[in-house]
Structure 1
Amino acid sequence: MDGEGNPSQGPWGESLKSILREYAESLIIAMIIAFSLRYFVITTYYVNVQSMLPQYLQGDFIVGYKPPHGFAIPFSSEKWAIGEPIRGEVVIIQCPTDVSQHCLKRIIGIPGDRVEFQKGRLIVNGIPAEYQKIPTKGSQELWKESSLGRSRTVILADSSKEDPAPLIVPPGHVYVLGDHRKASHDSRTWGPVEVAGLEARPLMIWLSVDWEHPDSKDLFPKVRWSRLFSRLD
């Protein structure tokens, strides 16, 4: 007696196998690409403190670009560096107090630089930074700080507080500061941080939410639409 046979052995079965195999191969390739991008090229960072005000706001979600500060070598703590740290650039770093966490800071001094402060104002290699007050309606005073050809907007530290001791940045390290000098933990207390701890350069803000001022009609935080997908210097 003739039977219907096994459907998986017929033309339809072979076609289904081919489709499933192609789907599995595509999925594996996509996973490999995603893993490679996440491990070697990009990272994400959430700003949960105010230490980089006014440019970076609490609630910003940032995409960071890894190549400028080297590729991590799998299963190793070593990096293959392809660039050098630059004064004035903002970096995502391993927090010295907890390397499992990340911090967002600005590089102020590179190896060999002498960094010091006078009444909270920056001096690098004996050259005082220039300061210009920026008009603002907010409660914080904003200043344009210019040092060695680079400028940024900062909130200065309290001039009445004791300045940290002058320091020469050792080889393999950088001196980092937060732009909000009153609210930032940085090299003034940590000391210089290792170049190997530099993770990425902020590339863009992909989302920004205001947790303190949710929309009045619901329980969700307010989205800062004007900051979405804005590029970062």
Structure 2
Amino acid sequence: MNFALILFLLTIATGVLWLADRYVFRKKRLPDAKEPVWVEYGASFFPVILIVFFLRSFLAEPFKIPSGSMIPTLLVGDFILVNKYTYGIRLPVINKKIVELNSPQRGDVVVFRYPVDPSLDYIKRIVGLPGDKVAWQNKRLTINGQPMAIKRGGDYLDKERLFYTPRYIEQLGPVAHDTLIEDDAPPFISHALAFPFRDKCIYNSEGVICEVPPGHYFAMGDNRDNSQDSRVWGFVPDENLVGKAFFIWFNFSDLKRIGSFK
């Protein structure tokens, strides 16, 4: 379901009703006459829908985390806010960038339209920038020949699977973040898809090495062995970016999660 398109159409429809009532039909009604149903339930909602459409399209949009690919940073059921203008201002619905602002940086957690099926929204962490050589070999990340600093951070308990996973703290540029790596899981990628620029990736028994093409990004989940990401389906085009995640505003199962995202 394309909620942005539905909201856009509702804004247009209620706006037409509002204009028709304000400049045509309101003048013909008696001062004490009751508003018709189409005004009460159509035109009167226009200001509210317009504000929601503007806020959601240009400022911040809420999302719910549906999977565990970003554990332990984001948990299933987290409701997050995504900054819609960090990476430039885009026209709603068609997602066409009209104002250039900032570019994604290593360590940013971003929402984007899934390259394989743009009707779906995915959330991952940006690991590689255009031109970077990203290597995921034997469960360790190297960018442009430089191994990313990593240190042990204890074990993480997956309450759903009742399973302890080694937790590590990884340094991506200025961003230090938690990541889960199952040392006993095989390092190779067994189910890579055929994707654009796949020739820029080399798969081997130790993992994958990719050169990120211009205008694209390499994204990975923090739950490294339980994430379908750029290692599997390829690079994220710049035009697929939706925005940068920056805040957990609710979680029905754990209120302590509010504001805990970093």
Same topology, TM > 0.5: yes
The 1:137/1:70 distance shift into structure 2, 3 A limit, reads: closer
Partner of 1:110: 129
Partner of 2:261: 232
Aligned pairs (5 A) from 1:105-144: 105-136=124-155, 138=157, 139-144=164-169
Conserved in 2, the CA contact under 8 Å of 1:157 and 1:182?
yes
The offset of 1:70, in angstroms, is 2.5
Conserved in 1, the CA contact under 8 Å of 2:74 and 2:261?
no
Q: Which amino acid aligns with 2:254?
A: R
The 1:137/1:66 distance shift into structure 2, 3 A limit, reads: closer
For this pair of structures, how many residues does the alignment match? 206
SS of equivalent residue, structure 1 residue 135 = strand
SS of equivalent residue, structure 2 residue 102 = coil
% identity of equivalent residues: 31
The 1:42/1:131 distance shift into structure 2, 3 A limit, reads: same
Moved more, 144-153 or 54-63: 144-153
Q: Which amino acid aligns with 2:70?
A: M
1:30 to 42, 45, 48: 48
SS of equivalent residue, structure 1 residue 48 = coil
Partner of 2:118: 99
Q: Which amino acid aligns with 1:85?
A: P
The offset of 1:137, in angstroms, is 6.2
Greater CA radius of gyration, 1 or 2?
A: 1
The offset of 1:231, in angstroms, is 5.6
Matched, 1:205 2:248: yes
1:148 to 173, 177, 181: 173
SS of equivalent residue, structure 2 residue 68 = coil
TM-score (norm 2): 0.70
1:51 to 46, 69, 86: 69
Partner of 2:20: none
TM-score (norm 1): 0.78
Structure 1, gaps ≥5 residues long: 1-12, 210-222
The offset of 1:129, in angstroms, is 1.3
The offset of 1:224, in angstroms, is 0.8
Moved more, 171-180 or 191-200: 191-200
Structure 2, gaps ≥5 residues long: 1-29, 158-163, 189-205
The 1:59/1:181 distance shift into structure 2, 3 A limit, reads: same
The offset of 1:93, in angstroms, is 1.0
